Amino acid sequence: MAERIIVIDDDPVILKEALRSLKGAGMKTVALKSGEQLLEYISQNESPELILLDIKMPGMDGFETLIRLRKMENKGNETPVIFLTGQEDEEAEIRGLLLGAMDFISGVLNLRVRHAVELIKLQKNLAKEVEKKTKENEELFLQVVASLADAIDAKDAYTKGHSGRVAAYAREIARRCGYDEAQLDAVYMMGLLHDVGKIGVPDNIINKTGRLTDEEFAKIKKHPEIGGRILENIQKMPELVCGAKWHHERFDGKGYPDGLSGFDIPETARIIAVADAYDAMTSNRSYRNVLPQAKVRAEIEEGMGRQFDPRFAGIMLEMIDEDKDYTMRDRPD
């Protein structure tokens, strides 16, 4: 398929020559006579591979046209532009390049345009390949994290799926707060890994059915710090530490490990704290069954401003109220 090039020049002789030259080189070319026509064309058609734009034109000159082109949403704001000029003008070239022009052409049109189009294609293909590989790496990382979360949950026969549910609840709370997709993915990942520190807690303590001794509870309370140390090693995602290390902090400052309070607790940790508490109450445990929904709601409401950030606890209450059939919980069956 021939490349689509738009040429804009108010001089009909130059325009005709450019069309003849480019078409002869096998390039599909559209001719326009002004910047206004270009903006109109771009708004109604697919973006071209390349725009060849004259600088000196009546009405909008080439510089003004490029400025307005870059302000267009979705179309035109990334289309490569090469300025056509009949004379060498260093000042004009500097101005054009600062505005985002790709190049200036004053001669050897076919060869320069062909090289420009090939470079653009190469850049697009490279960007697509990088995007593809990045996506593949992200999916692989998520699979590894999900498998790790399952391994953590498997230490306790009563917490199967806990990390996944906490991640899902936390993501929904964040979504209702207006987080973008990248932020939602990060919150979900933090939810999956929030209990990673339990790797360092003996199984006999995690699975104990009776009341924990003070010494045993002290060991349980170490899992946030252990999790924080583990996740500190993932330097490319430093935010992962937040969920693991501070999801047991309380809004009133009576939590652990650092006794943080209020907005000193990272926001993502405050979100995960609510999600974690909700799942703990709506899942079967070795010492009790799932709590009634009304009891869960009352506990979340009572904890607003004390255990939980009121904003995120309020969102969880909204989610509970929408869950008429109490399906948002651990359902082993």
Residues with active-site annotation: 198
Instruction: Give CA–CA dist 263/250, Å, rounded.
Output: 10
DSSP-assigned states of every residue in 163-175:
HHHHHHHHHHHHH
Instruction: Give CA–CA dist 213/259, Å, rounded.
Output: 22
Instruction: Give CA–CA dist 138/131, Å, rounded.
Output: 10
> Residues for the chain: how many in total?
333
Sheet holding 28-32, edge to edge: 28-32, 4-8, 50-54, 81-84, 103-105
Q: Which of 192, 160, 159 is nearest to 268 (CA)?
A: 192
Residues 6+ apart with CB under 8 A from 20: none
Contact 164, 194 (CB under 8 A): no
**Eight-state DSSP code of residue 7:** E
